[in-house]
Amino acid sequence: MNTDLIIIGAGPGGYETAVRAAKAGLQVVIVEKEHLGGTCLNAGCIPTKCLCHSAEDRPSPQPSPVMEREEADAYLRAAIGRKNEVVEKLKAGVAQLMKTPGITLVEGDARFIDQHTVAVGDEQYEAKHIIIATGSKTKFLPIPGAHAEGVVTSTEMLNLTTLPQRLAIIGGGVIGLEFASIFQALGSQVTVIEFCKEVLPNFDRDLAKRLRTSLKKRGIEFHVGAAAKEIKTLSPSLPHNGEGGLCVEFEEKGKTQSVEADLVLMAVGRAANLDSLNLADVGIETTPRGIVVDEHMQTNVPGIYAIGDVNGLIQLAHAASAQGRMALNHILSPSLQGRDGVGPIPSAVFTVPEAAMVGQTEEQLEEAGIEYQAHKAFYRANGKALAMEADDGLVKILTDASGKILGCHILGAHASDLIHEATLAMRLGATIHDLADTIHAHPSLSEIMLAAAEA
């Protein structure tokens, strides 16, 4: 079958690009081997946000330990059920989008035959342009016991029916902290083991430390600068551990320590999903991070593009969507020299409190030798935050001497929403003085942005 564009992968980057391409007049074949919506919809962004909401709404437990455990399990099952309903509703919406005229959805595993031909089962599809959007898969540490029974990924965590009393999480990045926040709120005893000196290594260190302190006050135990060495399966017959379970051994400050758990979440990042694509035979360049692309998301093979997690640039669903627009723009108008690039990309962590950032951190600016000024404001001085009983947090805006915004970092309620004011300002070249001159509604959390701009 001949077509204009083949897209491999129906995650956010893939299916949104397919719809845009079809509306632009292209005939599109989109291939998906598992679930419409990809990791984000089925085992990532949406399911975890559903559980975040359920965790925030969990009622106070009963005083009886037995009743508390039974109620916790029942509440977890109800939360998982609600999550499944939301996911299925959104998947149905994606399925409807795939019925857009000009789109042909093909189910199966895609592999390259040559630089313009893709096979799915016994069928072959040929196109001048191909976009690879196969996403990523969970990484595992190369340590003994990494695949032992009771060691799970985020996918399994999203389908639990029994709440683990003791949960150990290896990895203090976005995935690890979100699950730590969720399951602590649901009633688990949570321990996080992070290899780097601070959680959220890619975030502003000040912000990350404040978040860790806040989560610690909620009951989560942290070990930072700690390297997991082994996961052992314990016997219920041992006198020191009548419940059995698992034991995570790690090295911290030169000493070997351990933590026992009923369940261990492996949350050490994700790797580009290149399985079965047959990239080497068609000459597509890759690195350990993923497929190599240029500023248009095009690979070293003309006409073949890679967007989203698979290129290893930035593993965010909204980044994949933006990269899909860039690739499609280049396909439709390869000689057009207009406003391109994805611009500043915000990131958010849906813990309690939330964290969000855009642009550069203080550490990055210092390392690059760039002079900057930090403008801060705190939630505790904001009327809306106090009214919401959400006074834990701050806004930090980083600028150069002229007021150009270099980065913005927010810790606190609705940080994931507030960050977009700074993102838009950076995109349009607005300065911190422009923010300070912008009227903000009162009372609102957005006034914390205003207070930081005026600081």
Q: Are 410 and 394 in contact (CB under 8 A)?
A: yes
Percent of the chain with pLDDT over 90: 91
pLDDT at 70: 84
Q: Where in the chain is the domain with CATH 3.50.50.60?
A: 2-138+271-332, 151-268
Instruction: Give pLDDT tens digits for 255-309.
Output: 999 999 999 999 999 999 998 899 999 999 999 999 999 999 999 999 999 999 9
When pLDDT is cut at 50, 70 and 90, the band that residue 160 belongs to is: very high
376 Cβ contact list (under 8 Å, min separation 6): 394, 395, 396, 397, 452, 455
pLDDT at 235: 73
pLDDT at 65: 58
The catalytic position among 147, 240, 433, 442 is 442
3-state secondary structure of 376: strand
Q: Which of 186, 166, 185 is closest to 247 using CA atoms?
A: 166
CB atoms within 10 A of CB 314: 16
Considering the segment(s) 353-454 as one domain, its CATH architecture is 2-Layer Sandwich (3.30)
Any idea which fold 151-268 has? FAD/NAD(P)-binding domain (3.50.50)
Superfamily of domain 2-138+271-332: FAD/NAD(P)-binding domain (3.50.50.60)
Strand pairing of 151-152 and 263-266?
parallel
Q: Which of 447, 439, 442 is closest to 414 using CA atoms?
A: 447
Measured distance between the N- and C-terminal CA atoms of the chain, rounded to whole angstroms = 61
Rounded to an integer, what distance in angstroms lies between the CA atom of residue 390 and that of residue 396? 17
Give catalytic status of residue 442 as yes or no: yes
Instruction: Give me the DSSP letters along 135-185.
Output: -EEE---SSTTTTSTTEE-HHHHTT-SS--SEEEEE--SHHHHHHHHHHHH
pLDDT at 239: 45
pLDDT at 338: 47
Rounded to an integer, what distance in angstroms lies between the CA atom of residue 106 and that of residue 385? 49
Instruction: Give pLDDT tens digits for 26-71.
Output: 999 999 999 999 999 999 999 999 999 999 887 665 544 555 788 8
Q: Where in the chain is the domain with CATH 3.30.390.30?
A: 353-454
Give the residues across from 126 on adjacent strands. 2, 117
- Gyration radius (Cα) of the chain, Å: 24
Backbone conformation region of residue 428, classed left if phi is above 0, alpha if psi is from -120 to 50, else beta: alpha
- Cα angle, residue 437 at apex, residues 432 and 438 outer, rounded to 5°: 95
Strand ranges of the sheet holding 226-234, from the earlier edge strand across to the other edge: 226-234, 245-252, 255-261
pTM of the model: 0.93
Average pLDDT of the residues of the chain = 93
